[in-house]
């Protein structure tokens, strides 16, 4: 489903250019869960951003469902994020002026795939049915991340990209969130590519890739 081939990316810094990704290649099957680990600055988030169409590679190719992403313009990459890929951030990135229910439904509505029953099931699944009319500011960090997960899955993406989704949470909450993400993704038939520092959490996923100095090392 996902094919990454020979991906490179560098950034301009005060000392010249820094190579962040240096010939990264890997693939993912439909429904597969993959953990991406590595030390800080190893290029994990950059790789996630490139796959999510949030940034462009210097060279290399990304194909999703056999469709090449590299040549897409802003409109095409926006359509990709809307319809095929869902991204979950460490900072939740909820819309503060929308209620919990509206936030969950939002991505699906944007993608034109709003299914009220599915949204209701997801809301129930994350245990926030009685908080559905509250605004994000009234929720704890764990609850906000649950809303973010539900929002992503409500749009039925083919691939969920999760950038340290539990990085802001305590251990108990992190465990709950991860379980929730994996279970709901499995129910929806969605693949999950998750960036994490934690080897414990990585072990819960089907496969693990380690990035070091911009290269896949294991």
Residues forming contacts to other proteins in the complex (CB under 8 A) are: 49, 52, 54-55, 74-75, 78-83, 87, 89, 91, 93-98, 102, 106-107, 109-112, 135, 140-142, 168
> Is the four-CA dihedral 102, 114, 181, 29 of positive or negative sign?
negative
Report the residue number, 142 or 206, with the smaller CB distance to other proteins: 142
From the CB of 193, what's the least distance to other proteins, in Å? 16
Give dist(CA 61, CA 44) in Å, integer.
17
Closer by beta carbon to other proteins, 71 or else 75: 75
123, 104 contact by CB (below 8 A) = yes
Q: Phi and psi dihedrals of 106, rounded to 5?
A: -60, -50
Please, what is the minimum distance in Å from the beta carbon of residue 218 to other proteins?
27
Q: Which is nearer to other proteins, 79 or 176 (CB)?
A: 79
Nearer Cβ to other proteins (40/203): 40
Q: Print the SS3 string covering 96-134.
A: CCCCHHHHHHHHHHHCCCCCHHHHHHHHHHCCCHHHCCC
Shortest CB 94 distance to other proteins, Å:
7
Q: How far is the CB of 186 from other proteins (least distance, A)?
A: 23
Count of other CB atoms within 10 angstroms of residue 120: 16
């Amino acid at each position: 489903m996902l094919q990454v081939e020979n991906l490179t990316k560098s950034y301009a810094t005060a000392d010249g250019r820094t190579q962040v990704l240096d010939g990264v290649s890997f693939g993912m099957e439909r429904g597969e869960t993959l953990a991406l680990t590595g030390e800080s600055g190893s290029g994990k988030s950059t790789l996630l951003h490139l796959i999510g169409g949030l940034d462009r590679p210097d060279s290399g190719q990304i194909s999703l469902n056999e469709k090449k992403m590299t040549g897409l313009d802003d409109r095409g990459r926006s359509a990709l994020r809307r319809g095929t890929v869902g991204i979950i951030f460490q900072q939740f990135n909820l819309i503060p002026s929308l209620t919990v229910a509206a936030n969950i439904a939002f991505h699906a509505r944007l993608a034109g795939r709003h299914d009220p029953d599915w949204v209701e099931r997801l809301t129930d699944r994350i245990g926030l049915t009685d908080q559905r009319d509250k605004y994000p500011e009234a929720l704890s960090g764990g609850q906000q991340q649950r809303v973010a997960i539900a929002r992503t899955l409500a749009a039925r993406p083919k691939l969920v990209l999760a950038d340290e989704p539990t990085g802001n949470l305590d251990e108990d909450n992190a465990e709950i969130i991860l379980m929730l993400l994996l279970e709901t993704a499995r129910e929806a038939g969605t693949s999950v590519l998750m960036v994490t520092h934690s080897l414990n959490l990585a072990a819960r996923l089907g496969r693990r890739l380690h990035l070091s100095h911009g290269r896949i090392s294991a």
